[in-house]
Amino acid sequence: MSGIVTAGADLFAQALTDQAVPVTRVDWQPPMPGTADDLIAVAADPLRTDANEKAAAAMLAVQATLVDVAPASEVLGLERGQFLHAGPPIEWERASGPLRGALMGAAALEGLVADPEEAAGLFGAGDLSLEPCHHHGTVGPMAGVVSPSMWMFVLEDQASGRRTYCSLNEGLGKVLRYGAYSPDVLERLRWMSSTLGPLLATAVQRVGPVDVTGILAQMLQMGDEAHNRNRAGTLMLLRDLAPALVETAVESGFDAGFNNREVAQALSFIGGNDHFFLNLAMPACKLALDAARDIPGSTMVVAMARNGTDFGIQVSGTGDEWFTGPAQLADGLFLGDYGPEDANPDIGDSAITETAGIGGFAMATAPAIVRFVGGTVPDALATTRRMHEITLTENSRWAIPVLDFAGTPTGIDVTAVCRTGILPQINTGMAGKQAGVGQVGAGLVTPPAEIFPKALAALAQQSATRLPGTERTVAP
């Protein structure tokens, strides 16, 4: 007998220990209230184990490469008056301050209004189209607003040809994605469209596909968790692109025709924005998770996203359905004079990083930022270890040195969340709740607990249809 696992009465575990048998004790606790019957139905689903293995394998097989940088109008077919936003679907009336602020700023950027303040009326009247980024293969940090003129990173899994998209990162502080729309915010965005985007496009064309998944693996060993810390990743990207950016300027007569000053500006903008790589980490994660979508019977979460009002998840086995609940307030540190009363509830598609097994799930590898997100180093180690309890597998490519190179916990399992009550740990920035304010802090947040039992109930309903002849097994 090489060992026994016990779940339940401690007494029997002790009896085995008394017989000198190696015992692993499950620290078992009852599942989330009201989930017992659905957990049984899903556990009995004959498709479940294979479906989850398939989902996890598909996710891990994806190799994300940066293949292009181009305007949203071109690669997403966005037209004047069309806007994408972070999180599950939402209408203007229910939109939070930062989302409204970002949409107003984007409307001015697109020339729909002269003054962002005028845009509220247009959105309120329903004259403009609002859709989630996720419905267009896209992810957006914080408010996640994408409008036709914004330039997008284009990521591709070369084996499948599947693509995902994300806008370019504007930096921290007063920025559109945090709901700020002052003239300097819009000025920066115009420069990004006129100069940064085209420069990056030529550089990417020159160096060929950039291995984003590979950079992610390296940055995780350099103290980044790729959500709230992207410093190493940003510098590695810069290392890969800088020669091509310079060459672009050196070769006079090159199509884009940029001068030295513009290239220097671009280099210092990228190098000076520690979060620049976030907008590559996010679509890389989405590209991996999209490969795991729509596998009947799979209980794996393929998206977690927030629009500042609702927190939503999508699950592989339940297609495009969103399971939503109220977005929570983050717990963390505030910039300057800001305090908890200034913060908007959780917002952004950036929780795609946690969904893929980095960000908060890789907290152990980023001790440098544990204070910023309100914790200690032991907390960080414990967080990553705890996330293994709710994930299907680990990503051996994303190995954490301090945990003896254990892979990051990857593939959130709805059933495991419901069984343990452990919620995914998300590292996040905090936007001001008033439109126009911008970032007020950063911290830790979890999804609202109730969305996991909702998703589980939908999975259970499908499981029941796959068990012909057996009445649904119901506990007394």
Give the residue among 343, 331, 193, 348 at the shortest CA–CA distance from 278. Answer: 348
Of the two residues 37 and 331, which places its CB atom closer to other proteins in the complex?
Answer: 37
Q: How far is the CB of 423 from other proteins (least distance, A)?
A: 13
Q: Which is nearer to other proteins, 20 or 114 (CB)?
A: 20
Is position 252 an interface residue for other proteins (rule: CB under 8 A)? no
Q: The tokens of 79 are what? A: 């037209």
User: Residue 449 CB, nearest distance to other proteins (Å)?
Assistant: 11
Task: Tell me, residue by residue from 5 to 24, as one string, x for binding to other proteins by CB under 8 A and - for no binding.
Answer: xxxxxxxxxxxxxxx-xxxx
Q: Return d(Cα 292, Cα 302) in angstroms, integer.
A: 7
Q: How far apart are CA 405 and CA 332, in angstroms?
A: 28
Can you give the C-alpha Rg of the chain in angstroms? 23
Tell me which of 29, 111, 252, 465 binds other proteins, using CB under 8 A.
29
Residue type, 371: R
Per CB under 8 A, the list member of 205, 265, 420, 462 interacting with other proteins is: 420
Structure tokens at 82: 């069309």
Q: Which residues within the stretch 49-88 sit at the binding site for other proteins (CB under 8 A)?
A: 49
DSSP E strands, 308-362: 310-315, 323-326, 331-334, 347-348
How would you class 458 by CB atoms within 10 Å of its CB: exposed for 0-12, middle for 13-18, buried for 19 or more? middle
Instruction: Please state, in angstroms and as integers, the Cα–Cα distance from residue 435 to each residue in 34, 76, 105, 338, following that order.
Output: 38, 27, 10, 15
State the amino acid at position 89 in one-letter form: P
Residues in the chain: 476
Site for other proteins in 447-476 (CB under 8 A): 470-471, 473-476
> CB of residue 32 vs other proteins: minimum separation in angstroms?
9
Q: Do 177 and 142 meet the contact criterion of CB atoms below 8 Å apart?
A: yes
| Amino acid letter, residue 436 | G
Q: How far is the CB of 34 from other proteins (least distance, A)?
A: 10
Query: Interacting stretch for other proteins, rule CB under 8 A, among 35-43, 226-234, 317-325, 437-445?
Result: 35-43
Binding mask 376-395 for other proteins (x = CB under 8 A): -----xx--xx-xx------
Is the Cβ of residue 13 or residue 69 nearer to other proteins in the bound state? 13
250 interacts with other proteins by CB under 8 A: no
- Please give the residue ranges that form the binding site for other proteins (CB under 8 A): 1-19, 21-31, 33, 36, 39-40, 43-44, 49, 381-382, 385-386, 388-389, 415-416, 419-422, 470-471, 473-476
